[in-house]
Each structure stands twice: as C-alpha cells, then as structure tokens.
Structure 1
Amino acid sequence: MSNLKKLLRYDWPLHFVLLFTNWLPDNIQILRLRGYLASPFFRKCGKNLRLGRNITFYNPSRISIGNDVYIALGNWFMAAEAIDIDDQVIIGPYNVFVTGDHTLQDGSFRYGAHVVAPIKIGRGSWVASSCTITKGSTIGSGSVVGANSMVNKDIPSDTMAGGCPAKPIKSLKK
C-alpha cells in the first residue's frame, strides 16, 4: 500500500478521532467510546479496546491490538516495525514503545541508518507507568514490567521485571 493510501486509511482518521475525543474525561464510557472509534484504524484490533487521552500512534497500520486491552493516557507508539499487543494487556500511563533506532554516521545520529525490529506484548501482561519498550523486545504472557523500567530484550512469561535495563526480579508462577 502506498504511503498516501496508508495516511488516508489509517493515520489521519485515527489522529482525528483522538483529537476530537481528547477533551472528554477519562471515565469508563469515554475510554470505551474512544477505543471503539479508533479500532478500525489499526492493522488489527479486537473487542473492548479502551484508550486514555493524549495517546500518539505513528504508523497504526503496523499495530495489532487484541481483545480487552487498556492503554492509559499519554502513551507514545512509534511503529516503524510491527507492534503486537495480545489480549488482556494493561498499559499504564506515559510509556514509550519504539521499534527502531538510529545509527551513527559521520559523527551524527541525525542521518544514520535506521535499525528496526518488532515489539510483542504477551497475553495478560501489565506495563506499569513511564516505561520504555525498545525494538526487538518481547514481554512474555502474564508478566509485569515495573514503573520507570526500560525493556531492551525479552522478558520471560510469568515474570516480574524492572530496572534500567529491565531484568527479571521474580517469577509469578504459582
């Protein structure tokens, strides 16, 4: 699909939905309404998406969202590559999800080549607040990423992880 078609099909309609609903309060009904109105503009989106205010999605045509997902206010998604969010995921406020980075060229990162890799968030996981999830990271099913953490590699399923960079803290298996 051409870039213009992607802009017209995914990006611009989603930005308009978010723009026109951001002034509404974040209560259950509005979170559901915002998610319902935004859901057609992702690569794939399940039922019962709930979206907080002031969320930014770049390249929503590369973002897949499962059923019963909650994304709190102020999150930033940069999908240069795929971002896959499985069912029943909770994403707290003010997180950054970025699937690419820059390389150094002639003493500057501005025009260096981009390196991209997908991000996957497993079923039933919880990303707390103010976390950064970088390219190539997978957060396993049923895992928790503690507040203010930076994930730059895989987090196993059923694990509590935290820190910068995030490391497993304890197993959540019962």
Structure 2
Amino acid sequence: MTEKEKMLAGLVYKSFDEELSGERIKAKKLVHELNKLEPDEYEKRRELFLLLLGKTDGDFWIETPFRCDYGYNISIGKNFYANFNCTILDCAPIVIGDNVMFAPNVGLFAAGHPVHHEPRNAGIEYGKPITIGNNVWLCAGVIVNPGVEIGADTVIASGSVVTKNIPGGVVAGGNPCRVLRSITGEDKNYFFRREPIET
C-alpha cells in the first residue's frame, strides 16, 4: 500500500512521502490564494473553495482565514457556515451535515500521533474520521478530536474539547466535552440566558 492508501484506510502512515507532500502543497497554494482575496471577491472565493473541497451541496460560506491539510477529504452539506480561523486537519474523511454553523476558531483535527515518542519521532501518524450531523452549532474555540461523531441538532459550548462521541439533540460542553442537558421544544422560545424570542 502507498502512504496515501494507508492514510485513507485509517492505518498508520508517514505523511512526508512525495505524493502526500505534493498534495498538501497543492492545498496550501489554494488556501493561500483564498486567504489573500479581497472581501468582495465572492465568485473567486466560491470557485477556489469548490476546487479545494471534496464535496459541497448547495450554498455555503467559509470566512477567511481558513486552513486545511488536503481539502479533498472535507464534505460539507447544504447551508454550511464557518466563521474566522477555521482549521481542519483532514487526513481522514471529515463529513459535515446540513445547516451546520461554526463560530470563530473552531478546529476539526482528524490527525493523531502515537503517544510513545519512538514511533512519533519516526514520523508515524494516523487519521480517524470526524462526522458532524445536521443542524449542529459548534461555538467559539471548539476542538473536535480524531474519530469523533457529533449527532444532529446538538450545540457544543465555547471552548469545549470533544474527545468522544456526543449524541444528537443536546447541549454539551467542557474539557473533556460532556452532555449538559437535552434540547427541548421549549428552547425555540428563548435565546441568551432564557430571554424570550419576540418577533
């Protein structure tokens, strides 16, 4: 198997072989071009993101600066929004559902390294997929670790470090992230600290 095949299979691999290094450079060039665009260059921005990302579905908006490793392992659903400083290490598939929102400084990190220093120093690493369900909101500064799945209709509180799967329909937070409460139908009547939504 090539190092890329190992990477995509979720096995340990060495990322500094010629093929993977070349693919990261290609992505970095696209990301560099994206991040230096003028704010009103909407069409060029969309064109570059379509070249970079593996799959898109309908409208999306990703604020710059943005960073990723490869781009082709990132799939986003309809109506996706990512605020400033989103970083996605996509050495494994990153699947993001419909109507997902990322606040500033969100990081999805599919990449990992062995705990023991000898294989780590030898350049061994791995990637495990991350899945974000529909209607999820990741608040500011959320970090999602390798192999995590976040269920639909969930909110992850600011500054959380998500190390394990989180079910759907909950508010979760903390380091490590844990379920704080369920989201109920009553929640649609309120916003910040239970202030009523009056339209």
> Does the aligned pair in 1 maintain the 2:53–2:71 contact within 8 Å?
yes
Q: Report the residue type matching 2:31 in the other structure.
A: H
1:100 alignment counterpart: 111
The alignment covers a number of residue pairs equal to 168
Aligned counterparts, 1:11-160, within 5 A: 11-12=27-28, 14-21=30-37, 23-24=38-39, 34-35=45-46, 37-106=48-117, 109-111=120-122, 113-160=124-171
> Does the aligned pair in 2 maintain the 1:32–1:48 contact within 8 Å?
no
Identical aligned residues as a percent: 21
Report the Cα distance in structure 2 between the residues aligned to 1:157 and 1:32, rounded to whole angstroms: 35
Q: Deviations over 1:74-122 (max 9, x none)?
A: 1111011010011110001001111121113456844363232100010
Report the Cα distance in structure 1 between the residues aligned to 2:58 and 2:102, rounded to whole angstroms: 16
Report the Cα distance in structure 2 between the residues aligned to 1:161 and 1:169, rounded to whole angstroms: 5
Report the Cα distance in structure 2 between the residues aligned to 1:35 and 1:89, rounded to whole angstroms: 18
Report the Cα distance in structure 2 between the residues aligned to 1:7 and 1:106, rounded to whole angstroms: 24
Unaligned runs of 5+ residues in structure 1 are none
| CA shift for structure 1 position 12 | 4.9
Instruction: Determine helix, strand or coil for the equivalent of 2:179.
Output: strand
| CA shift for structure 1 position 42 | 1.1
| CA shift for structure 1 position 30 | 6.0
Query: TM-score scaled by structure 2?
Result: 0.74
Report the Cα distance in structure 1 between the residues aligned to 2:43 and 2:83, rounded to whole angstroms: 12
Unaligned runs of 5+ residues in structure 2 are 5-18, 186-199
1:164 alignment counterpart: 175
Give the CA RMSD over aligned residues: 2.6
2:7 alignment counterpart: none
Q: Which has the larger radius of gyration?
A: 2
Report the Cα distance in structure 2 between the residues aligned to 1:31 and 1:89, rounded to whole angstroms: 20
Query: TM-score scaled by structure 1?
Result: 0.84
> Does the aligned pair in 1 maintain the 2:35–2:64 contact within 8 Å?
no
